[in-house]
Chains A and B, each alone.
Chain A
Amino acid sequence: MKKTEDVYLVNVDASELIIKNPKILRVLMGAQYIKIDFGYIAPWMYDRGGWIRIAPYTHIQVHGSKKKYALKEAINIPLAPQQFEFESTEDWRVFSLLFESIPLKDCVIDIIEEEVPSLDDFNFYNIKLKNVTEMVLRG
């Protein structure tokens, strides 16, 4: 039986993603939240690597449902209009987004930063979450 404080490491298949930067690296699901870890590499096309930020109204949608799961916390990435400026095109950053919890079962989700996205927005579609079984232990 899944307890409310348990957190699960989820197999994530984001192979269909067109946007590879940031890359979805790890998804942790619990009864309180879903946490998605991203890795971002400062791109060469921007002077000094450019900047990153995330819109506070970014949300998750689970396929087959219209409910929006709101962003609760952003770790290591500022909420817009604040932004993190890179210093060079060699820089990199791991950041995490915590959303309201979604049902603890296999599903396909979209992460939506902008409903009508530009190439710079962090929108991700068709992320398959599988095997919500593997518990993460606390240190």
Chain B
Amino acid sequence: MNSVLFVRSGNNLLFFEKKSVNLSKSAFRRYKVIDSVLRNSMNRYPKMVDFMEACHSKLDFYPSEETIQKDIANMRLPYPDGFDAPIRYNRAERGYEYTDSEYSLLGVSLRQEEIDAISEAINIIRSIGGTRMSDKFNHAVEKILSSTLEKANVDENKEPVIQTMIPPTSRGFEHIELIYKACREKIPLSFIHFSYKKRTFNHILLHPFLIKEFENRWYVIGYSELHDEIRTFGLDRVTEPLFINRNYHFIDPQLVHSYLNDVFGVFPIPGAKKELIQIHVSQLGTHYFQAYPLHESQTIEKENEGTSFIRFEIIASVELARYFLSQGRHVKIVKPKWFKEFTENLA
């Protein structure tokens, strides 16, 4: 069993890394014993001998007084060299105590297979994500793992056995944490937006509710005061977002649900509603649609020769139209008529 180390100081939960707090397994086990003795409410001011006896009882060895003194001194050291443990010797009571009753040094155990599982997850996320989002997760998990006494076997030198397309970090992605917080905590945003197509700048006041990734591009979706409707903005065109202290414009949850589930892509065609979209697909195209469904609502009705009619219950989007166009002769839009014309006009 390995241990992950957390230290609680007031309301803060601190994680200690193995690199910073370089201690041996036996020393760490003694620290846990010392911590438990100090938090024993039946003996508020334990003496040196209490620590030594507790070690003897729990660890099956009798440390010297000098060892315990060194341990306490090490525990007192400020982070990152020690654990910031507020231990002091109370002369009046002739014993030791925590001066901050909220402080505790907790050991959380992870079995080797659990560490292995987390390591695998890190590797997969590395392969799939490759973005700062996964880096952040990666860092957090590795931080926990690195504080185990035996470091997890995350082998940096091993070649990955899963590879996905990992694009370089894009412009605007540096704002993702701020925008994520704005979505989660319902905080309106002010930012400057540049439209590539119209070549215009605007100051946008957005009440965001969703961050969406599509084809390795990141978007924020919310109610735009300027446009008085829900709009989608590419993060690459967002400059200097700021939180604004104004009332958040809540969006109908049904609409949010729809954006989450009924849109292929990020830019629904203005005025489009969820409706039946039907395409006719070649034999070859049918194989691919079968293998890689475009949307959860996709149903396939095959014809004798292997061609098919494929239907979706979906809100038509620009991306959907472009995707169908990119399939060339393999896909023909059957209905609705307006979407067929829209797509033909894009060509």
Contact = CB atoms under 8 A, between A and B. Distances in A.
A13 to B, nearest CB: 12
Given A94-B201, A136-B190, A37 B240 contact: yes
A41 interface: yes
Given A39-B201, A134-B244, A137-B242, A94 B181 contact: no
A117 interface: no
B192 interface: yes
Given A25-B203, A26-B203, A139-B178, A134 B246 contact: yes
Contact of B192 (A26, A90, A136): A26
Nearest to A28: B242
Contacts of B187: 137
A138 B192 contact: no
A136 B201 contact: no
B257 interface: no
B28 interface: no
Contact of A23 (B178, B201, B240): B201
Contacts of A136: 190, 242-245
Contacts of A92: 194, 199, 201
A41 B203 CA distance: 15
A104 to B, nearest CB: 15
B190 A26 contact: yes
Contacts of B239: 37, 94
Given A26-B192, A37-B240, A139 B181 contact: yes
Contacts of A26: 190, 192, 203
Nearest to B241: A139
A111 interface: no
B239 to A, nearest CB: 5
Interface residues of B, number: 17
B202 interface: yes
A60 B282 CA distance: 66
Nearest to B187: A137
Interface in B94-134: none
Interface in A27-71: 28, 37, 39, 41
B245 A135 contact: yes
Interface string B169-200: 00000000010010000010010101000010
Contact of A9 (B178, B190, B192, B201): B190
A137 B201 contact: no
A94 B243 CA distance: 19
A98 B168 CA distance: 32
Contacts of A90: 199
Contacts of B245: 134-137
A68 B244 CA distance: 29
Given A23-B201, A25-B203, A39-B194, A139 B244 contact: no
A75 to B, nearest CB: 9
Nearest to B195: A92
Contact of B243 (A23, A25, A96, A139): A139
Interface string B309-337: 00000000000000000000000000000
B192 A37 contact: yes
B147 to A, nearest CB: 28
A50 B142 CA distance: 48
A14 to B, nearest CB: 11
A134 to B, nearest CB: 6
| Most chain B CB inside 10 Å of its own CB: which residue of A25, A90, A92, A134 | A25
Interface string A83-115: 000000010101010000000000000000000
7 contacts: A37-B192, A41-B201, A92-B199, A94-B240, A136-B245, A138-B243, A139-B242
Given A37-B192, A41-B199, A136-B244, 20 more contacts: A23-B201, A25-B202, A26-B190, A26-B203, A28-B242, A41-B201, A90-B199, A94-B201, A94-B239, A134-B244, A134-B246, A135-B244, A135-B245, A136-B190, A137-B243, A137-B244, A137-B245, A138-B243, A139-B178, A139-B242
Interface of A: 9, 23, 25-26, 28, 37, 39, 41, 90, 92, 94, 96, 134-139
Q: Which 5 A-B pairs have the closest CB atoms?
A: A39-B201, A137-B243, A135-B245, A94-B239, A25-B203
